[in-house]
Amino acid sequence: MTDSSCYLTAFSHFNWETAKRSCEINNMRLAWIDSTEEAAYVLDIYKGAGHSLTFWLNYKNENGTHLTEGKPVYTSQYLPPWNKEHTGNEHDSCTYIKASTGELYDDDCTTRMPFLCKSYRIDYVPEPKVKYTDCPDKWNLVGDKCYKAFQSWRRPEKKSWYDARDHCRALGGDLASIHAEFAAGDDIRKIFTNQFGQVMESEYWIGVNILDRSKGYQWSDGSNLDMVAWDEDEPNDNRMLENCVVANIKTEYRGPVTMTWNDKYCPTSHDYVCQVPAGTLTATLMPTTTLPTPSRIPGVQGKCDPGRSICPGTRPRKTVRRKTHISW
């Protein structure tokens, strides 16, 4: 967590849009959460005030994708855990957090509840993002990971979800996780490309699962479940045995690749997609971006206005990834 933010608590009960506008009037934004430490801090704001309640955050679900400031919640961002009943099928809803548990919930955006405003401190400078490149042969770079589809017409070469996951982890990665920023167009084509440079129509195991029903659906690599692509009437959890998920890939001649999800019985055999970290970093840094971009607030540099609190902490260490060698 960085020592970057100021907060304004609001115990008035407003709907999500009114709460958002109220924050903007104060040159702030409806709050978003950047780390586990910040989540603990903002929850204590309400607990410390004697309020064990729920309050709006700056996340809105539109067509199955969670947005903040109108942009997808990227996998590189921290997202508090969802409650165990969350499937991602909720559409056109807004997100609140329960102070007593720290879990996220979706609700109708017209519901009235307290909210939290946030802005960056005037002296805050975000850390630059490092761009990673270099994948093993026959793997495809998407974001900071390399992907490869293991697809075969021969039944014995297909694997159960568990065996597919173990194979991916033996290669230094995991089953593929797919996130909102890479969930369409050419990125989906790259993720599901096999060793022959082709995208074949098939059902592929991916990392999303509900093996721990107390936590709901989650990715096997621990990253944010920031989007879903369930097929119609899915997930149906047939006989309460379908705890793993396949991506059903369809292709059109010179057309787009489409993806829908279906929950499946984990021991059944399917094709699968692995991901591994991209190799060496380049000397070029990606342009620094801030998501969202709040207004600067008046006041003394490095401090918050009266009534707003500072989130303490230190800047995180930069992590440099080493090149990953894979024989595939």
Percent of the chain whose pLDDT exceeds 70: 72
Tell me what pLDDT residue 282 has.
Answer: 36
pLDDT score of 273 more than 90: yes
> Is the domain of 47 the same as that of 105?
yes
Query: Which residue has tokens 């955050």?
Result: 57
- pLDDT higher than 50, residue 323: no
The residue assigned the tokens 């993720």 is 191
Please indicate, yes or no, if residue 61 is contained in any of the structural domains.
yes
In a domain, 178, yes or no: yes
Using the predicted structure, report yes or no on whether residue 193 has a pLDDT greater than 50: yes
Same domain, 83 and 149: no
State whether 226 and 302 are in the same domain.
no
Decide if pLDDT at 31 tops 70.
yes
Residue 175's domain spans which residues?
135-277
Tell me: do 179 and 272 sit in the same domain: yes
Among 8-17, 110-119, 248-257, 319-328, the least confident range: 319-328
User: Do 225 and 297 have their domain in common?
Assistant: no
| Banded model confidence at residue 220, pLDDT cuts 50, 70, 90 | very high
Read off the pLDDT of each residue in 181-189 and give the average, rounded to a whole number.
82
User: In terms of domains, do 165 and 213 share one?
Assistant: yes
Q: Is the peptide bond before 235 cis (omega within 30 degrees of 0)?
A: yes
Same domain, 153 and 117: no
**Residue 192 confidence (pLDDT) above 90:** yes
Task: For 141, list phi and psi in degrees, rounded to 5.
Answer: -80, 125
Question: Is residue 294 over pLDDT 70?
Answer: no
Q: Is residue 255 part of a domain?
A: yes
Give domain status of residue 326, yes or no.
Answer: no
CA distance 117 to 133: 37
Q: Could you tell me the CA-to-CA distances from 191 to 26, 76, 152, 205 in Å, in that order?
A: 43, 18, 16, 12
168 and 193 in a common domain: yes
- Cα distances (Å, whole numbers) of residue 270 to 88, 115, 187, 203, 305: 24, 45, 22, 6, 57
Indicate if 193 and 150 belong to the same structural domain: yes
- Whether the model pTM is above 0.75: no
As a whole number of angstroms, the distance between CA 13 and CA 240 comes to: 39
C-alpha distances in angstroms, 237 versus 73, 87, 242, 281, 308? 27, 11, 5, 41, 46
Q: Across residues 26-33, what is the average pLDDT?
A: 86
- pLDDT tens digits, one per residue of 109-119: 999 999 989 88
Both 234 and 146 in a single domain? yes
Count CB neighbours of 276 within 10 A.
21
Report the chain's mean pLDDT, rounded to a whole number: 77
Q: Are 120 and 303 in contact (CB under 8 A)?
A: no
61 and 163 assigned to the same domain? no
Q: Looking at residue 203, what is its pLDDT?
A: 95
Is 323 inside a domain boundary?
no
Residue 63 lies in a domain: yes
Residue 86 Cα distances to 82, 130, 319, angstroms: 6, 33, 32
pLDDT (average), residues 219-243:
88
Q: How many domains does the chain have?
A: 2
Pairing relationship of beta strands 271-277 and 257-264 according to DSSP bridges: unpaired
CATH number at residue 37: 3.10.100.10
Say if residue 215 is in the same domain as residue 306: no
